[in-house]
């Protein structure tokens, strides 16, 4: 059970790293892709990262 929690935590932290990468790209002017695409990616990776981290921590605490 703890292995599943660790997988969720790793995925969550990787998505968090990608989120920060897209956030930095969003804050720099003139970066490609357009801001609309970056906003969609930011929403996606923020949702996946928060969900994976939450599930991982809950499984880790329960097991």
The packing angle between helices 35-62 and 2-27, to 10°, is 160
| Model confidence, pTM | 0.79
What one-character DSSP code corresponds to residue 32? S
* pLDDT tens profile 19-45: 888 888 888 877 667 778 888 888 999
Is residue 50 predicted with pLDDT exceeding 90? yes
Query: By C-alpha distance, which of 24, 20, 15, 25 is closest to 51?
Result: 15
CA separation (Å) from 2 to 35, 57, 59? Answer: 39, 10, 7
What one-character DSSP code corresponds to residue 28? S
Residues belonging to the chain = 63
């Amino acid at each position: 059970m703890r292995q599943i929690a660790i997988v969720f935590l790793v995925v969550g932290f990787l998505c968090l790293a990608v989120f920060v990468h897209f956030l930095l790209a969003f804050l720099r002017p003139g970066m490609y892709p357009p801001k609309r695409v970056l906003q969609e990616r930011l929403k996606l990776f923020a949702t996946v990262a928060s969900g994976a981290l939450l599930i991982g921590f809950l499984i880790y605490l329960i097991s």
